[in-house]
A and B are shown apart, each in its own frame.
Chain A
């Protein structure tokens, strides 16, 4: 699948509209859902989707294979665009907003299996973080706060922000890895 991604990408680079459409079809839902997760407004999420694919099409952003998967790159653009939109529109969401996906899974008809699997694992992994850690991941990654703003919000010294982010993310990643090894089901039973 990722080799197909690369093929599509090079066709897009050559100006092939059909290739862009195929890439669009493949990532529309993921990009839209992630953008919505960031900005919490449908109209803005659509705006972000447009900008992301616009950047791919107009070559404002250039992907390199050595930088990792194309999907990761697209999601990075999505996040950066979302942060821009958040800033431009001065969107303020509740600081102590919960991880909404921890509450309940309303997507019965998940059509991307890998996505769902990852989400399940992430949910479990996030539960293993302390509340402070959950908050800092939320503020840093999904809200795109500046270092200063994170320090203010969490009432921690500016100099410790980076280290705390790193620790929380590392914990999350390692838990994910453990779940991979142990399997989701064991983990669920253990909790």
Chain B
């Protein structure tokens, strides 16, 4: 038995064991010094090998896609403590992943809004500034962490207004019964005092608050917003403004980034 378990080392290292065998081996590993030794040796012997890879430049928009998907996912608060001892080698097979085909369908949609977005800046212009100020939308922004990413309904690049260097992507994700809007922005200018960046969704000319965020020192900011709390609407536009504080019920600042839906 002992001898047999020792023979699982290579397949353990290569993540090739069934769940049962993996458990058997991990149990064995705790008491078998020679396996501990050999495993450590394998790790040391192989630690440089990844650097054998030719360096390849990733697709430019990969970062936005990956981070948006990650921040849309739930944080597993419960997984912190108990997993410590089994952290390495980290066994990927136990981790759920997004269905590949769904992510792919998103990629296809990616470019179209990007091309269209450029045309929209002039259309939108200063429209929001003169919008009806009397409308009252009491919803407060909330940052939500999602359980799973079920279906990406929309993914669009927001176009920067004139003189703005920033870029942002909007992703609408449907999960189970709710719809979430994720915004991720880069190169945002720094804020002063209580200023925040505010996401708005517009139906016609009426703006609704859809997430508030503050970027980091690198100008990166992200926010996720549960759309269902706004009720049923046909959204026309997503826009981001800079607001004097986090309480603006209607846009006070200029549009920084926007896209038509």
Q: Interface on A for B, CB 8 Å cutoff?
A: 13, 15, 17-18, 20-22, 24-25, 28-30, 32-34, 36-37, 42-43, 45-47, 49-51, 53-55, 57-64, 67-68, 72-73, 75-81, 83-84, 87, 99-101, 105-107, 110-112, 114-116, 118-119, 121-123, 126, 137, 140-142, 144-147, 150, 161-162, 165-166, 169-170, 172-173, 176
Contact = CB atoms under 8 A, between A and B. Distances in A.
Interface stretch (B38-46, B110-118, B192-200, B234-242): B38-46
Contacts of A60: 76, 79, 83, 90, 94-95
Nearest to A106: B54
Interface string B57-99: 1110011011101110111110110011001111111110110
A59 B75 contact: yes
Given A46-B59, A122-B48, A76 B89 contact: yes
B48 A176 contact: yes
Contacts of B88: 63-64, 67, 73, 76
A144 B216 contact: no
B100 A47 contact: yes
B33 interface: no
A141 B16 CA distance: 12
Contact of B92 (A21, A53, A80, A147): A80
Contacts, number: 218
Contact of A46 (B38, B41, B62, B87): B62
A112 to B, nearest CB: 7
A76 B183 CA distance: 31
B50 interface: yes
B58 A62 contact: no
B92 A84 contact: yes
Nearest to B104: A43
19 contacts: A24-B66, A28-B63, A34-B50, A45-B56, A51-B95, A54-B97, A59-B77, A59-B79, A73-B87, A76-B89, A84-B15, A111-B55, A115-B51, A118-B48, A122-B49, A145-B16, A146-B11, A147-B16, A173-B45
B103 interface: yes
Interface of B: 7, 9-11, 14-16, 38, 41-59, 62-63, 65-67, 69-71, 73-77, 79-80, 83-84, 87-95, 97-98, 100, 103-104, 216-218, 220, 222
A110 B51 CA distance: 12
A50 B92 CA distance: 12
A80 B79 contact: no
Contact of A75 (B50, B54, B218): B50
Nearest to A161: B10
Contacts of A161: 10
B106 to A, nearest CB: 12
